[in-house]
Amino acid sequence: MKLNKNINQKNSIFKSWLVILIAILFIVLPFIINAYWVDVLFFFGIYALLGLSLNIVLGEVGLFDLGHMGFMAIGAYTTAILNTYFGIPIMILLPISAIAAGAFAWLVCAPIIHLRGDYLCIVTIGMGEIIRLTLNNNPFGITGGPNGVFGIDFPSLGSIFVVDNSTKFYYYIWLIVGLTIIGLVNLQRSRIGRAWNCIREDEIAAEATGIDVRYYKLLAFVLGAGLAGVAGNVYATKLMMVSPESFNFMESCLLFSIVLIGGMGSIPGVLIGSAAISLFPEFFRTFAQYRMLIFGAAMVAMMIFRPGGIWPRKRGAAEFKSLLMKAGEENG
C-alpha cells in the first residue's frame, strides 16, 4: 500500500512537470513555426475547446450527442448578428454567446432528456440539422442564408488590447482552452463530476442513490452548449464571417470521434484527439485527394487497436475491464 502511494506521488509530480512543460511549449511555439502552422494550431485550439465541451456531455455523462455543432452555430450566429447589426463589442458578446447557447440547450433538451441512447442521438442529430437548415433559409432576413454574415469585428478590450493577427488569435484561443481545462479538472473532482460519472456507469443506481438524474443531465447539456457557444464566438471573430455549412452533420461526427479517439471523459485524451483530427489532414496534405481516405482508415484502425482511446481516463475506464486492471488503483 505504501509503495503504491509513493508511486502515485511520483506520478503526480511527473504529471505536473509534464503540464508545465507542455504549457511552456505552447507559449514559445509561435516564435518557432511559420504563420500557416500558427493558424493550424489555432484551429487545433478551436477543436480542443469543442472537444472539451462535448466531453462534458458524451464523456462525463455518456449522453450521445451528434448535433453538438448546432450549439456552436447558436454561439457563432449570436456573435455575428449582434455585432454586425448592433455593433456590440465582441468581448461583451463572449459571455452572451455562451448564455444564448446554454439557454437554447436548456429549452431544447428539457423535453427530450428522458430519451435514452440512440433515441437521444437521433434527436440531437435532428436538432443540429434543424438549426443548420433554418440558418440556411435566412429567417427574417438576418442570417444571410447560405452566404452567412460578414464583417465581424476583432475581439478587443479598449484600443490597446486588440486580437487582430494569427499569433494573437493563437494565444487568445489557448488562453481560453487553458482556463477551461482548469475549470473542468475542478469540476471533474467535484460532487457534480462524480454524479455525472455515476450516471454514466449506471443510471438506475445513480437515481437510487438520490442523484437528480434529470437535473445533472440537463446541467451537462447546458454547460457543454455554453462552452461550444464560446468556441462559436472565437471562430466567428477569427474568420470574420459565419456560414451554415461550417456547422454540418459531418463536423458533429468529427467532434464525436475526437472524444472517443482521445478517451471518454479524459481531458488529456480530448486534447490528443483534437490534435489527431485537426493536424492529421495537414500532415497528409501531400496525398491530396487520398488524405481523407487515409483519415477514415486511421479512424477504423484506431478503434480496432485502442478501443478505449489513446489516453483513457482511469476513473472512466470501468467499462473497459482489461484497461481497468492495468490502470490499478483509482486516482482520477
Partner 1 sequence: MKIILEQLLNGLTIGSFYALIALGYSMVYGVMKLINFAHGDLFALGSYLGYTLLVFGSTYVTVTFGIWGGMIAAMLIAAIGIGIAGTLIERIAYRPIYSVGRLPAVVSALGASIVIQNGIMVVWGPRPQAYPSQVVPSVMLNIGGIKITLLQVIILAISFVLMGLLYYIVQKTTFGAAIRACALDRDTAALMGINIETIIFFIFALGPALGGMAGVMVGMYYRKISFTMGWNYGLKAFTATILGGIGNIPGAMLGGLLLGVLEMLGSTYISTAYKDVFVFLVLILVLIFRPRGLLGEKVAEKV
Q: Which residues form the interface with partner 1 (CB under 8 A)?
A: 111-112, 114-116, 118-119, 121-123, 125-127, 129-130, 133-134, 136-137, 204, 249-250, 253, 256-257, 260-261, 264, 289-290, 292-293, 295-300, 302-304, 307-308, 319-320
If the CB atoms of residues 1 and 204 are measured against partner 1, the closer one turns out to be 204
Residue 140, phi-psi category: left (phi > 0), alpha (psi -120 to 50), beta (remainder): left
The cell numbers describing 317, all together, are 475506464
Least distance (Å) from partner 1 to the CB of residue 153? Answer: 30
If the CB atoms of residues 84 and 257 are measured against partner 1, the closer one turns out to be 257
Least distance (Å) from partner 1 to the CB of residue 219? Answer: 21
Residue type, position 9, single letter? Q
Report the 3 state secondary structure along 131-167.
Answer: HHHHHHCCHHHCCCHHHCEECCCCCEECCCEECCCHH
Least distance (Å) from partner 1 to the CB of residue 322? Answer: 9
Rounded Cα distance between 125 and 66, Å, is 5
If the CB atoms of residues 67 and 229 are measured against partner 1, the closer one turns out to be 67
Rounded Cα distance between 239 and 72, Å, is 14
Helices and strands per DSSP (H, E), number in the chain: 13, 4
Least distance (Å) from partner 1 to the CB of residue 44? Answer: 19
Rounded Cα distance between 72 and 50, Å, is 8
- 8 Å CB contact between 42 and 173: yes
If the CB atoms of residues 99 and 302 are measured against partner 1, the closer one turns out to be 302
DSSP 33: S
Least distance (Å) from partner 1 to the CB of residue 261? Answer: 7
Least distance (Å) from partner 1 to the CB of residue 293? Answer: 4
Rounded Cα distance between 257 and 245, Å, is 19
DSSP 61: S
| Cβ contacts of 16 within 8 Å, gap of 6 or more | none
Least distance (Å) from partner 1 to the CB of residue 123? Answer: 6
If the CB atoms of residues 111 and 151 are measured against partner 1, the closer one turns out to be 111
Which SS3 state, helix, strand or coil, does residue 242 take? strand
If the CB atoms of residues 17 and 287 are measured against partner 1, the closer one turns out to be 287
If the CB atoms of residues 204 and 325 are measured against partner 1, the closer one turns out to be 204
